[in-house]
Chains A and B, each alone.
Chain A
Amino acid sequence: MTVTFDGRVARSGWALEVDGLEMDEGVTAVIGANGTGKTTLGRAVAGLDRLADGRLEIAGSVADDPAAGVFVPAHQRRVAMVFQDLRLFGHLRVIDNVAFGLRRAGADRAGARRQAGTLLERVGLDSAAWPRRPAALSGGQRQRVAIARALAPEPEVLIVDEPLASVDSSGRAQLRSLLGDSPARHVILITHDPVDVATLARRVVVLDAGAVAGRGSAAEVTASPGCEWAATFLGANVVPGRAHGTSVTTEGGLVLAVAEEAAGPVYVTFPAHAVTLHRDRPAGSARNAWQAVLSRVDIDGERARVHLGGPVAVKADITKHSADELDLRPGLTIWASLKATEVTIVT
Chain B
Amino acid sequence: MAGAIMSNRLPAAVTWVGFVALGLLVLPIVGLLQRAPWSSLPSILGESEVLEALRVSLIVSLAATAACIVLGLPLAFVLARRRLRFPRIVRAVVMLPMVLPPVVAGTALLFALGRRGLVGQWLDSWFGVSLPFTTAGSVVAAAFVALPFFVVTVEAALRQAGDDLDEAAATLGAGAWATLAHVTLPTIRPALAAGTALAWARALGEFGATLTFAGNFPGRTRTLPLETYLALERNPEAAVAISLVLMAVALAVLVTLRDRWMPR
Contact = CB atoms under 8 A, between A and B. Distances in A.
- Report whether chain A binds chain B: yes
A257 interface: no
16 contacts: A74-B167, A74-B171, A75-B178, A79-B171, A81-B171, A83-B167, A85-B164, A87-B164, A87-B168, A88-B168, A89-B186, A90-B187, A91-B186, A104-B182, A152-B172, A153-B172
Contacts of B167: 48, 74, 83, 87
Interface of B: 164-165, 167-175, 178-179, 182-183, 186-187, 189
Interface in A88-143: 88-92, 100-101, 103-105
A153 B187 contact: no
B178 A104 contact: yes
A150 interface: yes
B174 A100 contact: yes
A100 B171 contact: no
Given A90-B187, A91-B187, A100 B170 contact: no
A225 interface: no
A100 B182 contact: yes
Contacts of A189: none
B170 A73 contact: yes
Nearest to B170: A74
B187 to A, nearest CB: 6
Contacts of A100: 169, 172, 174, 182
A89 B165 contact: yes
Given A89-B183, A91-B189, A75 B164 contact: no
B186 A80 contact: no
A209 B172 CA distance: 30
B87 to A, nearest CB: 17
A69 B171 CA distance: 21
A153 B173 contact: yes
B170 A48 contact: yes
A46 interface: yes
B174 A81 contact: no
Contacts of B171: 46-48, 74-75, 77, 79-81, 150
